[in-house]
Chain A
Amino acid sequence: MNFSPAIEDLIQALRCLPGVGPKSAQRMTLHLLERDRAGADNLAAALLDAVNKVDHCQRCRNFTELDICEICIDPRRDTSIICVVETPADVLAVEMSGSFKGIYYVLMGHLSPIDGIGPEEIGLDRFHRRVVEEGVSEVILATNPTVEGEATAYYLIDLLQGDGVKVSRIAHGVPLGGELEYVDGSTLAHALTGRRQVE
């Protein structure tokens, strides 16, 4: 049996979400139409609102409705320390840790030549100009510990060398509450080479 075109369209549209297949999309559609018309109205309005209003912050490229995001204009934050991350989700993750009081720069991706993403596509040169112009004192590279994240970090290290900026890379190692026996060899190798003297 086929649904009417409007229902089919909605089912198809919902499938753009990650992890939503035909069956879940159908369930969501029928739920909204059968039981939660008000919720559907809200969802539609919120979606439109977000798509129209949310853009990238002009300074850190994170998502925001303002020209410059709340973190960047917060006077309590130290603007001389910039933490470079790959995605907006990473900003949230670092914020949740509650241990960083500087500002961010969101690359919106990482260097991945095979996918056609080079330094220009993620705006690394623009970031470099900003670091130089604003007299930033420290750049913390918090890209992912994957090959692409490492490549992005190395590229930035090379770019920032000679600018008198302190560049640091977040530590990689054993997770809290983890067991050494289950930690893979490459992580352990990192943990050992990056070991710290106990004072």
Chain B
Amino acid sequence: MRVKLQPAFVLHSRPYRDSSQILDVLTAEYGRLALVAKGSRRSRRGGSAGAILQPFIPLLVSFSGRSEMKTLVASEMASNPLALGGDRLFSAMYLNELMVRLLHHHDPHPVLFVAYADTLRALNDEGCQLHAQLRRFEFTLLCELGFGFELAQEGGSGEAVTDDGWYGFDADYGLVHLGSPSNGQRAAFPGSDLKLMAAGEFGEPVKSTAKRLLRLALAQHLGDKPIKSRDLFRRT
């Protein structure tokens, strides 16, 4: 197999032998792949050969190979590098950790690739609403993995979500109507917020609902190991 100029992002890399790296990349058409970048840690005229093989740089990669692990043949930058700093950088690292934990190798997710590229571009803007971007991406990720659920209707009965109703989340059914109104329950979500989210609003008005709901939905698939990137958001 020989693939040329495939749009890709590096999700993670680790050193391999003396001067090489094993890259974990997300490609547009081939999904998540492991690539060996031979000699990429060796220095070259004007810097290291692998300087652009970093996360969050839009790349075009060419690779070949018959085995599970492909060999990187060439790489170039697809567009200008992003200038992520502070919480925006930590957020982008969080996206990568989520994908490394949840995506399987060789499972194409073209929609997710576009959503990821869009989210990074949005994070590049200093004034962006971080949490809205993250929640929207988390929801797209769940849908792409086949774990999506309806936000505007109940999972079991299919009845529409009502503004004054309270809903719980069940991994198998999705949203379930709760009989009594919430009495400080963490896992209860107001119907009005859910309807806003169904209409594509993940920002300030639904901040707390979206965060709790998506964290609950993701937790089902992440297992016991905590997401380490969350430690980076230091709140005093």
Q: How far is the CA of A105 from the CA of B94 in the complex (A)?
A: 27
A150→B229 contact, CB < 8 A: no
A164-179 Cβ-contact flags toward B at 8 Å (1 or 0): 0000000000110011
Q: Are B232 and A147 in contact (CB under 8 A)?
A: no
Is B66's CB within 8 Å of the partner chain A? no
Would you call A100 an interface residue if the criterion is a C-beta within 8 Å of the partner chain's C-beta atoms? no
- Residues of B in contact (CB 8 Å), total 34
Interface presence of B204 (CB below 8 A): no
B172 on interface, CB distance cutoff 8 Å = no
Which of B47-55, B123-131, B143-151 interfaces with chain A?
A: B47-55
Q: Is the CB of B18 within 8 A of A18?
A: yes
B80 lies within 8 A of A174 (CB): no
Check A81 for interface membership: any CB of B closer than 8 A.
Answer: no
With the chains together, A183 CA to B229 CA distance in Å? 31
Q: Which of A5-13, A62-70, A111-119, A132-140 contacts B (4 or more CB under 8 A)?
A: A111-119
Known interface pairs A19-B18, A185-B52; A178-B81 also in contact (CB < 8 Å): no
Whole-angstrom distance between the alpha carbons of A180 and B25 in the complex? 28
Give Cα A146–Cα B44 distance, bound, in whole angstroms. Answer: 17
Question: Chain A residues with Cβ under 8 A from B90's Cβ?
Answer: 151, 154-155
By the criterion of a CB under 8 Å from any partner CB, how many residues of chain A are at the interface?
34
Q: Which of A111, A118, A158 contacts B86 (CB 8 A)?
A: A158
| B47 and A184 contact, CB distance less than 8 A | yes
B232 & A186 in contact (Cβ 8 Å cutoff): no
Report the minimal beta-carbon distance from A186 to chain B, rounded to whole angstroms. Answer: 4
B93 near A147: Cβ-Cβ < 8 Å:
yes
19 contacts between A and B (CB under 8 A): A19-B17, A116-B228, A118-B231, A118-B232, A119-B232, A147-B54, A147-B89, A151-B232, A154-B86, A155-B90, A157-B86, A175-B47, A178-B47, A179-B45, A179-B46, A180-B46, A182-B44, A186-B52, A193-B83
Known: A19-B18, A114-B97, A178-B45; 6 extra A-B contacts, CB below 8 A, are A114-B11, A118-B228, A151-B232, A182-B47, A184-B51, A189-B81
